[in-house]
Amino acid sequence: MTFRLEHVHVKTREPAKTARFYMETLGATLIEASHNDTRFRVDLHGVTLNITDHVDYQKRQQKYGLEHLAVETDHMDGTLAKLKAQGATVLEEMISPIPAHRGGRICFLEGPEGIQLELIEIMP
């Protein structure tokens, strides 16, 4: 039996705005959008994000958000400067190498619906 990550589903009150955030700030590309802009699929560098409001055909209780999404960058300083210039809220910067993160640097930012984004720069 084999497994692989198929997608990450982000539920938000503003699917179009959230999809734009991932495309404009992190370079995601649009895979598919519904005709009424309520459902989006974007490719975030090999990881598919489904971005919707609550889904009417699901019976279980639905929640908005996700705890955090980690994205690796090969240039922390440049990525952080770009995100700050676009108004991203920095929650915590750990610029010193972190042993638990393979000696890399990490930074947490706040994205749409309060989803935290973790930027990781792995050191060679």
pLDDT in tens, 49-89: 999 988 777 777 788 877 677 788 888 889 889 888 888 88
pLDDT in tens, 90-110: 888 876 666 555 667 888 888
Which residue matches tokens 């705890």?
67
- Residue ranges of domains in the chain, CATH in brackets: 1-65 (3.10.180.10), 67-124 (3.30.720.110)
What are the beta bridge partners of residue 81? none
pTM: 0.67
What is the chain written as a DSSP string? Answer: -------EEEE-S-HHHHHHHHHHHH--EEEEE-TTSSEEEEEETTEEEEEES--TT--S----B-SEEEEE-S-HHHHHHHHHHTTPEEEEEEEEEEGGGTTEEEEEEE-GGG-EEEEEE---
